[in-house]
Structure 1
């Protein structure tokens, strides 16, 4: 006789598959696809295309750094016992709390995720005693590991910084949300689909490892929904000149009168320029054209072994200085306003110092978007720029002539692994769901390679030796002194930037010899810059020249709602608002080569 006496159908447990036979078949498919993923991972290593020594070297570096922390705690038995007692005390408190909760009482001690941690948003992490205890055990352990690094004495700042970064990566990777058997959302998905999610996920994992040629190229967006030149980078314009380093694009004007001074945009070559021209609604380039700028953009080549010897000298000479020549021919105007974004801004600063030393006054104002000039506080990217890591990178670049685009993409993703890595591992490979179409993440995955000479110079002269701000850098046969750069400067930092930290950008402003307007925008390295006024998102702060301490500047700064774009436009027009008749691409002097966005940006790594 059935135990269900109320006439209702029995409720299926949430983690129980409804069709055991189908579940078994899907699980077999998942195992088969997992084998394909393993084969794709091993193939280049077995053939010698991607030596296993690279992973071993990275692991040794992590173990060596964390070992320095372990040496401090192991050197004193009482200190080690105290640390272990602290951890076990947290475990006992969690166990005691679980028992109190089982008896209907509220626990006295609870460990909760930090503000902004979205990993444990599912109600089961709080309502289910098992998952709640698992969450607290993880949080207690990860915070204990962080404390071991923070409290270890005798570590130099660089070692402590690296150790904390590595510990954070380990903690992020070992979160219970990243494993099928300890994630309630994945368990429910597995039960409701009879493990179809795992079969789909392992297929995507195998595809992504094959696409990464033995490395994992995580898909962040549905790449089938985007195409550069069709629904991305669609602002009308023409490529009016090109060389081995770059194409020069001039955009079609949309106003009858335009500012007399043309605008040259120098994007980073670490990524492609169309982050500033994603869609019509998000395009800084299109917006600037609408404000009356004659916009020129450098579209950098996606380099290969032929560009191995191209250095910063070449990128400055054949990039920025060449673009100034092209602009003068196309517009008959010598004076320009220049904008540099990220490492494109670093190159622009170098070009300004070089031009000042050479008596070249064609750049009348400079705007730096999330640009580092001083690299003393360059953030977590410095983890990848110690002498040993640079030596290893240079050894790889000598073989190929360039650094693979995926290497830089991985480094950037690790800076925000809980946003750019692990959520996609869970969504794609455990839940078996395709990511949503997202233009910004499609761009983020459209990586570019780094020429060997250029990238080596950048890592050593900027991140490792910080030569630019110290006046010790030499480019083009000249020693560079930014104090000789006296033109007006607009410097934008973003408050949550992991690549060019706001404190670092603020400090770099002091290197120049002229007036600097420092502005701080909300959000991060990309979203804080690509923030059209119509969207009414985020905010920005102004507070006078960047002098004194960054925190003190921020405390007295005035907050403004919305985008910084109109503030920048007012600053530009305040320097020179003279206008002339609109100019067509090439100006009749240069014959257009092809339509924007050009062919260089179409080359994929």
Structure 2
């Protein structure tokens, strides 16, 4: 097994068993169309499966270091399919996998060409309606930057924000701080300057060390000492399909957000104007995971005292990815949830954990009930695919082109 893995790695091949998982065949199969694209994103609109839909759409913002289809894995555990089947119109950002030519893309480009353009397109397809936004990991950080900037306007188009394992205050970012300090950032910037991006292999080791018992030593024991391979599954296949990060944008993220914590301390500027989480006034649904080593739940929890709006905080079992992909019927799942109203006093994470009861089952059902409460009561006919004047036959089928880039 060791020799086989060594050989596959040296040839640039994926792990054993990944051949059984193919994007568009048994991964990312929820029907839809790419209704917009630019240099940085493809925007997917999913086809309705119900006669009537909720009037207000949902827009997903994945992290730029992951491919979007973690939210659309297999048919049984696809979050996208779950929402579409429950009567929602769902849109998804699919990020381009950057190359050396994209080295000068900035964090503000990701704000504008990414989330900004996606919001504009969704608003064109479904005009005069609020948009319920969802951000995963760094996609959630990016989404809150956009929401804080839009909150300065008189009438933001964002109706609600859901965050999955997303940090907005990095002062206690957990075990990842063991690997990242100013000298390490300088080293990474030198490396990225030479090649124009940070490669997936160059960050994979740090994330493996965060969960070394699960991701390194257990594999050594079972695969190499006992000769017992764990079968490949859809989440493992997705996890091996990472993306690169452009030099300038990732340098800005590491320095300004991760190291200096500029956003939560009101120093970060969008289009030259400082933005603050305190300006966001739409309701938030924030999900942390008990065993998350990438975005520790107590760090995710901090948004409750950084905003002045109502925050529903949910803590789910599992880790950064497996805790989020927790579909109804998944065995051995539980969660805790509570609402913090605008007038409520702050409660420490330890006190919150102590005072909040455990619920069995999938948290997706809790979230879907929350989405219903934030949407317009009356359902409507599904919107047409793409903006007015689009010809459905000319649109590219989901999952599009960008997600296939290596």
* TM-score in same-fold range (> 0.5): yes
Structure with bigger helix share is 1
Q: Distance in 1 between matches of 2:137 and 2:51?
A: 32
2:169/2:263 contact within 8 Å kept: yes
Who is 1:179 aligned against? none
Aligned-partner SS, 1:492: strand
Aligned partner of 2:204 in structure 1 is: 409
* 1:491 is the counterpart of 2:286: yes
Q: Which residue of the other structure, out of 208, 223, 245, is the alignment partner of 2:9?
A: 208
Partner of 2:401: 599
Quick check: 1:459 aligned with 2:254? yes
Supply the distance in 1 between the matched residues of 2:51 and 2:305 (Cα, whole angstroms): 39
Provide the rounded CA distance (Å) in 2 between the counterparts of 1:348 and 1:211. Answer: 33
Question: Would the alpha carbon gap of residues 453 and 334 (structure 1) be closer, same or farther in structure 2, given more than 3 Å must change?
Answer: farther
Residues 97 and 405 of structure 2 are in contact (CA less than 8 Å); yes or no, is this contact kept in structure 1?
yes
The 3 A distance-change label for structure 1 pair 493 and 204 is: closer
Q: In the TM superposition, what whole-angstrom CA distance separates every residue of 1:290-321 from its partner, at most 9, and x where no partner exists?
A: 11110000000110112111111111111111
Quote the residue 2:61 is aligned against.
266
Q: Which moved more, 1:344-353 or 1:556-565?
A: 556-565
> Aligned partners of 2:5, 2:361: CA distance in 1, in Å?
39
The answer on whether the counterparts of 1:261 and 1:333 sit within 8 Å (CA) in structure 2 is: no
* Counterpart Cα distance in 1 of 2:33 and 2:78: 17
Q: Give, in angstroms, the shift of residue 517 of structure 1.
A: 0.9
Equivalents in 1 of 2:204, 2:245: separation in Å?
Answer: 11
- Structure 2 counterparts to residues 193-204 of structure 1, below 5 A: 201-204=2-5
Task: Please state how far the C-alpha of 1:518 moved relative to its aligned partner.
Answer: 0.8
Q: Is the 8 A contact 2:55 2:129 kept in 1?
A: no
- CA apart distance, 1:381: 1.2
Cα RMSD for the two superposed structures: 1.8
Q: Which has the higher strand share?
A: 2
Superposed CA offset, 1:412-454 (max 9, x none): 1211111112333344445556552211111111010001111
After superposition, the Cα gap between the structure-2 partners of 1:544 and 1:506, relative to the gap in structure 1 and judged at 3 Å, is same
Relative contact order (C-alpha < 8 Å, sep 6+): which is higher? 2
Question: Which of these residues, 147, 171, 185, is aligned with residue 376 of structure 1?
Answer: 171
Which of 16, 25, 40 is the aligned partner of 1:230?
Answer: 25
Distance of 1:598 and 1:203 partners within structure 2: 32
CA contact (8 A) 2:70 2:238 kept: yes
Distance 1:571 1:207, change over 3 A: closer
The gaps in structure 2 that reach 5 residues or longer are none
Alpha-carbon distance between aligned partners in 2 of 1:334 and 1:313, rounded to the nearest angstrom: 25
Q: Determine the structure 2 residue equivalent to 1:585.
A: 385
Which residue of 346, 349, 353 corresponds with 1:550?
Answer: 349
- In the aligned structure 1, how far is the partner of 2:52 from the partner of 2:315? 31
Residues 454-533 of structure 1 aligned to structure 2 (within 5 Å):
454-533=249-328
Query: In 2 relative to 1, CA 360–603 (structure 1 residues): closer, same or farther, beyond 3 Å?
Result: farther
Aligned to 1:280: 75
1:472-507 CA deviation, whole Å, 9 max, x = no partner? Answer: 111221111111111111111111111111100111
Contact 2:33 2:46 in 1 (8 A): yes
Q: Distance in 1 between matches of 2:214 and 2:63?
A: 23
Alignment partner of 2:37 out of 219, 242, 245: 242
State the alpha-carbon separation in 2 of the partners of residues 366 and 403 from structure 1: 29
Aligned to 1:330: 125
- State which structure, 1 or 2, has the greater radius of gyration over its C-alpha atoms: 1
Structure 1: runs of 5 or more not aligned: 1-199
Q: Distance in 1 between matches of 2:389 and 2:107?
A: 29
Q: Distance in 2 between matches of 1:409 and 1:597?
A: 25
